[in-house]
Amino acid sequence: MKTHISVDTKIKVGLIGFGRMGRFYLKEMQKSGRWEVAYICDINPDCRELAKKLSPESKILENEQEMFDDESVQVVGLFALADSRKDRIEKAIKYGKHIISEKPVSDTIDKEWEVVDITEKAACFSTVNLYLRNAWYHQAIKQFIDRGEIGELAILRICHMTPGLAPGEGHEYEGPAFHDCGMHYVDIARWYAGCEYKTWHSQGVNMWSYKDPWWVQCHGTFQNGVVFDITQGFVYGQLSKDQTHNSYVDIIGTKGIARMTHDFKTAVVDLRGVTRTERIEKPFGGKNIDVLCDLFADSIETGTRNPKLPLIRDSAIASEYAWTFLHDAYTHDLPAIGELETLEQIWERRRNMKNGYGLLQKP
């Protein structure tokens, strides 16, 4: 397997899965100029037709085998549903391909840990899209904390509530909202704390009397004593006339604080440290797929894995704890509030929305 290439040679990649995330990757790879998207594979004929329009230079496939057989393909991107990822990761390793995967890396925890085992033994590079780690605002806050500006890290508060994907919309094997979306916040809290979770207690609500809680708050501690609370739910004013959301990070130290809010267009970071106060306002940055792809391209070009790339292990840990926190909510009083008829109204509204948080936001 070739792990080092000339910087003036584009990296040849094949994409499997051309839904929403697959199209995001194509767009960023086309913009960067560092990638040659040689193949796009999808079992859906409509997706294949769209791929032909968006990437006429790519070979469009229904069956992925040709992509794996092509020895010139260095990287495969796995953006189909979670239940397909483990087999394709194993196949990529067999054929000597580097791997970029969406999260989670499989559809069950046991399979995710099998993926960790096989990728950590393999010579090829692999990473997973834990996109918050690549966000400029989290990087800025982490650097501020690392300089000692807030003293000792003590409290992590993370909230993400939007009128996002309603039950039954697009989750499939990724589980209810607190796993599908919430595992990103479980991961970023662990990233800030720099150690593993120790204790937790979760409270959920079965909104609209749906069978699973679509709002969960979990609080607890890390092994180093840092306290956390994570709130996530796609329940925030689904039928309000003018939709809004509530998304923030609030980090408290023994001496100062760092916090962030965003409106999906602009992120604002407020830093209050012992030597300086700073307010940074910049474009939100979306999924930061451009950053992930650049870090991965750097790794392939240099032959050395960039340490900023999330590990498959990081994804498995975040997934396992997100499931653990979600299941913990089932062990406590779990109110069912509202009616399924309201959920039907939400589905109908979202089917007819041309803009708005509901269609656009799925972290």
75, 83, 98, 214, 300 from 87: Cα distances, Å:
16, 9, 14, 30, 23
| Amino acid letter for position 20 | R
Q: Strand pairing partners for 100? A: 77, 127
Percentage of the chain modeled with pLDDT above 90: 91
pLDDT in tens, 86-137: 999 999 999 999 999 999 999 999 999 999 999 999 999 999 999 999 999 9
Length of the chain: 363
Per DSSP, the residues of 288-318 read -HHHHHHHHHHHHHHTS--TTSPPHHHHHHH
Measured distance CA(159)–CA(234) in Å, rounded:
11
Phi, psi dihedrals of residue 358, rounded to the nearest 5° = -60, -45
Tell me, what's the pLDDT at 228? 98
Measured distance CA(175)–CA(211) in Å, rounded:
12
Q: Does residue 299 surpass a pLDDT of 80?
A: yes
| Nearest-5° Cα angle at 44, 40 to 48 | 40
Measured distance CA(127)–CA(315) in Å, rounded:
9
Q: What is the mean pLDDT of residues 256-265?
A: 96
pLDDT band at 16 (very low <50, low <70, confident <90, very high): very high
Q: How many CA atoms lie within 13 A of 271 on its CB side?
A: 25
Q: What is the mean pLDDT of residues 79-85?
A: 94
Q: Does residue 4 surpass a pLDDT of 50?
A: no
5, 217, 300 from 258: Cα distances, Å:
41, 21, 35
Is 77 within 8 Å of 95 (Cβ atoms)?
A: no
pLDDT band at 360 (very low <50, low <70, confident <90, very high): very low
Tell me, what's the pLDDT at 174? 86
